[in-house]
Structure 1
Amino acid sequence: MKKRLILSVLLTAFLCGSSAFSQTKVIAHRGYWDCEGSAQNSITALNKAHEVGVYGSEFDVLITADGIPVVNHNDSIQGFCIETSLYEEIKDLKLKNGEVLPTLEDYLIQGKQNKGTQLILEIKPHKRVVNEDRAVTAILALVQKYQLEDHVEYISFSMNICKELIRRAPAAQVAYLRGEVSPADLKVLGFTGLDYHYKVFEKNPTWIQEAKNAGLTVNVWTVDDPAVMQSMIEQNVDFITTDKPEQLKEIVKKN
């Protein structure tokens, strides 16, 4: 009986410890672009993120005037405002590594082949709310077309976009980026996580634990300083988004 009791106590301690200190996962910011032959939000960056074995590869999506979601960080590219341009006008524009501007469909097709790497899809704010709604509709349709519902996680600075995602895809993982809303309020709104700049957590040091207590995932961006990486790992955040995924992986491994 005494041996059983000791084993039970040890098992409970192990399970609680492993739950409380689960390993922080690495997300490559705009893919793994800071290496030879790559570029931000390129298909190469997506593939290189997969090759180094990160949890996820983040990328940015906007919709054209004629309803084609494309992958680009800024709302314009080479003088063309994406939201007000036809796809035909921008489809041949080149990224810094020589690739053409990828569509979301291109990204999803490749991403489906990269087994084990989550697609962290950021829908960018648009100038008009109607275009944000169009973007959500088109993006969800493509994700459904390629049966990637469990492979795609959503983030956005736009509260409107996030609310539309929660309403239209209630089973989806949706995290908010802007940083002004408390974990408790995000939980009430139906979010599954928060994804804030590390300085937000420095100003609100209780928010990481509050989020975890509420059952929300915690992602922090964009962390390239090893000291900040270590600090966030020690605070047991779930994910760190970085431009230095290999360096972060090594630091995580040492913990």
Structure 2
Amino acid sequence: MKHVSKRRTGVVVAVLSGLAMAMMSTAAHADEELDVIAHRGSSGMAPENTAAAVDLAIEQRSDFVEIDVQRTKDGKLVNFHDCTMERTTDVEEVYPGRPRYRVSDFTWAELRRLDAGSWFHEDYAGEPLMTVDEVIASVRNTRTGLLAEISPCGHYVGIATDFAQNLLGKPRYVQRALAEGELAVQSFQVDDAQEFHALMPEVPIGFLDANRPTEEELLQLSTWADQVNPQYTVTDQALVDRVHELGMDINVWTVDEPGAMRRMAGLGVDGIITDFPQSLTQR
């Protein structure tokens, strides 16, 4: 991450697939940073974006927990990825016949009734959704930082401002997190990223991209962004080098396969976003 000084001379990688673990090791460049970023928490081992996944990522000594910021009908910021909730909750059973199942169609009191764990495994039955404030409370006294993605769901207006205002209301947390290099924000939407950046320019801001950014896009991003965070499948040495030449960091997503982890570390990326942080932290 930008302004983070967690240098490592090597990274040992253990990759978990189902119940099988294969061990391997890979050396990160001696002079490079490599942040382990838990995608929606340790989401390969616990239901994504729940306290179980966040707490496990912290226990596994992830450098960052990556979350997704959405807003309820009554203005509460919650940690949830999909634009609708059918995939990872029992929302259709609890609220049958609703015309839509977007986070923004429900109050926080309504969302608190949902089971966000059973879809993953019966051991997590009853695992509730989590607010952004609860995520911050979980990480604030740990060595694990926060990488928050502003939701790209198109029906939101002003969510970047809402998230900035939420953080501005936590000056002690923000000051400490920035001093330790443990806070950053990212978005697929340039407008949202720039809206947040205008309000909190001191917080490192990243642009997410599923495609390979063009030279023109990189030049434009370098005028305001701290990070370019592309899908790992479009990332090669030339892209990593160019992002660094322009003074930005590069975090790649979502890297779960051992060979891909090894390749990305070898390219000198600044961070690897993964569902299996323990594969890199060995915790």
Q: Give yes or no for the alignment of 1:183 onto 2:215.
A: no
* Structural mapping, 1:37-76, within 5 Å: 38-76=46-84
Encode CA deviations 1:114-147: one digit per residue, 9 max, x unaligned.
x21111111111323xx341x2222222222233
Mapped pair 1:156 → 2:187:
yes
**Residue of structure 1 equivalent to 2:138:** 110
- C-alpha displacement of 1:20: 7.1
Q: In structure 2, what is the equivalent of residue 249 of structure 1?
A: 281
**Which residue pairs with 1:28 in the alignment?**
38
Work out whether residues 125 and 132 of structure 1, in 8 Å CA contact, stay in contact via their aligned partners in 2.
no
* Deviation at residue 19 of structure 1 after TM alignment: 8.9
Residue 102 of structure 1 deviates from its aligned partner by 1.0
Task: Report what 2:165 is aligned to.
Answer: 141
The alpha-carbon deviation at position 48 of structure 1 amounts to 1.2
- Return the alpha-carbon distance in structure 1 between the equivalents of residues 104 and 73 of structure 2: 5
Displacement over 4 Å in runs of 4+: none
Residue in structure 1 matching 2:268, options 233, 236, 255: 236
> Structure 2 CA distance, aligned partners of 1:104 and 1:136?
13
Matches within 5 A, 1:175-214: 175-178=206-209, 179-181=211-213, 182-188=217-223, 190-202=224-236, 205-214=237-246
Q: Please name the residue that 1:86 is paired with.
A: 107
State the shift of 1:196 in Å: 0.7
AA at the equivalent of 1:103: T
Q: How many angstroms apart in 1 are the aligned matches of 2:35 and 2:261?
A: 11
- Paired position in structure 1 for 2:19: none
- Provide the C-alpha distance between the structure 2 equivalents of 1:241 and 1:106, rounded to a whole number of angstroms: 21
SS of the residue corresponding to residue 206 of structure 1 reads helix
CA distance in 2, matches of 1:90, 1:53: 29
Letter in 1 for 2:190: M
Amino acid at match of 1:127: G
Mapped partners of 1:101, 1:243: distance in 2: 18
CA contact (8 A) 1:176 1:193 kept: yes
d(CA) in 2 for partners of 1:217, 1:41? 25
Task: Report the Cα distance in structure 2 between the residues aligned to 1:44 and 1:145, rounded to whole angstroms.
Answer: 26
Contact 2:228 2:249 in 1 (8 A): yes
- Give the secondary structure class of the aligned counterpart of 1:248: helix
Gaps of 5+ in 1: 1-17, 251-255
Q: CA deviation at 1:180?
A: 5.0
Count of aligned pairs: 224
Letter in 2 for 1:237: V
CA contact (8 A) 1:21 1:236 kept: no
Q: Which amino acid aligns with 2:249?
A: T
Structure (1 or 2) with the larger CA radius of gyration: 1
Aligned equivalents of 2:225 and 2:157: distance in 1? 18
Q: Does structure 1 conserve the Cα–Cα contact (< 8 Å) formed by 2:39 and 2:275?
A: yes
Aligned partners of 1:60 and 1:123 also within 8 Å: yes
Find the aligned partners of 2:152 and 2:205 in 1 and give their Cα distance.
Answer: 15
After superposition, where does 1:207-226 map in structure 2 within 5 Å? 207-226=239-258
Letter in 2 for 1:242: T
Return the letter of the residue paired with 2:260: V
**Scaled by the length of structure 2, what TM-score is found?**
0.73
CA-based RMSD of the aligned residues comes to 2.0
User: Any stretches of 5+ residues in structure 2 without a counterpart?
Assistant: 1-27, 86-90, 93-100, 118-123
8 Å CA contact retained: 1:66, 1:87 = yes
Q: Which has the higher helix share?
A: 1
- Between the aligned residues of both structures, percent identity stands at 25
CA contact (8 A) 1:22 1:236 kept: yes
Amino acid aligned to 1:173: P
- Give the 3-state SS of the residue equivalent to 1:218 in structure 2: strand
